[in-house]
Structure 1
Amino acid sequence: MSTLPALPSRRALLRALAAVVATQAPWSQAADDAPWPPAAIDALRRGGVVAAFRHANAPGTFDPPGFRLGDCSTQRNLDEAGRAQSKRLGERFARLGLQPAVVRASPWCRTLDTARLAFGQAQPWAALGSVRAAGTDEAQQLAELRAALAAVGAGRFEVWVSHQFTLTALAGEGLASGAGLLLRTGADSRPQIVARLSAD
């Protein structure tokens, strides 16, 4: 009479399962969105915040002398890396099911292009323009931004695309190209950083 082979132990089965899982390409929404803290995603869903981004990669530091806002050929513009970065930003929001109530951008071409490539549309807003531009009243500009931030109610969030100098003046922190800060109005009526949002 033949005997049946012994069944593997529970521990052996678990080890075998772990080995199979380890060989698979890992993907999950949680893993794919790991660079953004869960608290940031939750805050976006609850609303009352602004996701303020520096424009995506645009080689150089300042615009050429004599640049004109209405003429992109006179400005620094996104390169291919910056355009791809912008699209990835929009894809992340879409994958998370996050829809901004409004998308606003500085009137510079690189900020408008970042926003439009990411979200398909953007409202030009002078208050998001570079505070280093000639003739800028920085104090008035920052007051307008703070008032708009305070007006964002619960259940909705906005996306703003601006410049390094403007976001540093507003929130006190510099950003890499394409990176962002999740902001809300603090108890002292000044912008408070809820989270930092990586570019990729």
Structure 2
Amino acid sequence: MRYLLAGLLALLIGPAGALDLRDGDVVLYRHALAPGGGDPPGFRAGDCSTQRNLSDAGRAQARQLGDALRGRLGALPVGAVWASPWCRTLDTARLAFPGQRVQPQAAFASFFQQPGDEPAVLAQARQQLANWRGPGVLVVVTHQVNITGLTGIFPASGEGVALRWTAGNGQVLGRLDPPATR
């Protein structure tokens, strides 16, 4: 039954290779591989030594996801790159999109360990995404809980979810598979 539902969903949204990304669209990426879950005790957003960080495989995955998206976009540019202020998201964004200015955005910070923050964080994220008009595609590197809260999709590490915002709502266009890790 699960496979039947997954197959029907794939038919509805189409294969990732068939995504029709346009100027003003958004791609939300879950950060690349960072072993563990949540953050350790004593976590501080500005101090990477207190956080869960990308593994070597995660750094390689981040580079590959940027290459894969640029290949998919063709002449359509990445207009901006935003990221949660967590080190693993900032590192993913910087490795995936070298030469782009990565802009930390509190609206995409993880609320995993503060679930009561979810409504306010997601409302702020939705407002920022609804205001994006381009030029180009907006890339946001964030966390699983944020992407799930915004789309209902539980992404794997390094997986992207493409969206188009109309009338204040995000329409899921499809998923971008995470790069294979070695």
CA distance in 1, matches of 2:95, 2:116: 27
Structure 1 residue 85 corresponds to structure 2 residue 61: yes
| Alignment deviations for residues 6-33 of structure 1 (CA, whole Å, 9 cap, x no partner) | xxxxxxxxxxxxxxxxxxxxxxxxxxxx
Instruction: Return the alpha-carbon distance in structure 1 between the equivalents of residues 142 and 134 of structure 2.
Output: 23
Separation of aligned partners in 2, 1:171 and 1:148: 15
Cα distance in structure 2, aligned partners of 1:157 and 1:145? 16
2: CA distance between counterparts of 1:136 and 1:159? 26
Residue matched to 2:5: none
Larger CA Rg, structure 1 vs 2: 1
Question: Could you say what secondary structure the match of 2:162 adopts?
Answer: strand
Higher relative contact order (CA 8 A, sep 6+): 2
* Structure 1 segment 10-29 matched on structure 2, within 5 A: none
The partner residue of 2:26 within 37, 50, 75 is: 50
- Residue 143 of structure 1: aligned partner: 123
Q: Report the 3-state secondary structure (helix = DSSP H, G, I; strand = E; otherwise coil) of the residue aligned with 1:58.
A: coil
Give distance in 1, aligned partners of 2:33 and 2:154. 15
| 1:115 CA drift (Å) | 0.2
| Residues 49 and 149 in structure 1, CA contact (< 8 A), matched pair in contact too | no
CA RMSD of aligned residues (A): 1.9
Q: Does 1:194 align with 2:173?
A: yes
Structure-1 residue corresponding to 2:158: 178
2:94 counterpart SS class? helix
Distance 2:142 2:174 in 1: 17
Q: 1:67 to 1:78 in 2, by over 3 A?
A: same
Matched residues in 2 for 1:132 and 1:88: separation? 26
Offset of residue 186 of structure 1:
4.6
CA contact (8 A) 2:31 2:157 kept: yes
Partner residue, 1:110: 88
Given candidates 108, 130, 141, the residue that maps to 1:128 is 108
After TM superposition, the runs of 4+ consecutive aligned structure 1 residues lying more than 4 A away are none
Q: How many residues align?
A: 161
Q: For structure 1, which segment, 101-110 or 135-144, has the greater mean C-alpha deviation from structure 2 after superposition?
A: 135-144
**Other-structure match for 1:63:** 39
Q: 1:100, 1:176 → 2: CA distance?
A: 22
Deviates more, 1:178-187 or 1:190-199: 178-187
Deviation at 1:154, TM superposition (A): 6.1
Give the drift of 1:159. Answer: 0.1
Whole-angstrom CA distance in 2 between matches of 1:192 and 1:143 = 16
Identity among equivalent positions (%) equals 50
- The amino acid of 2:172's aligned partner reads I
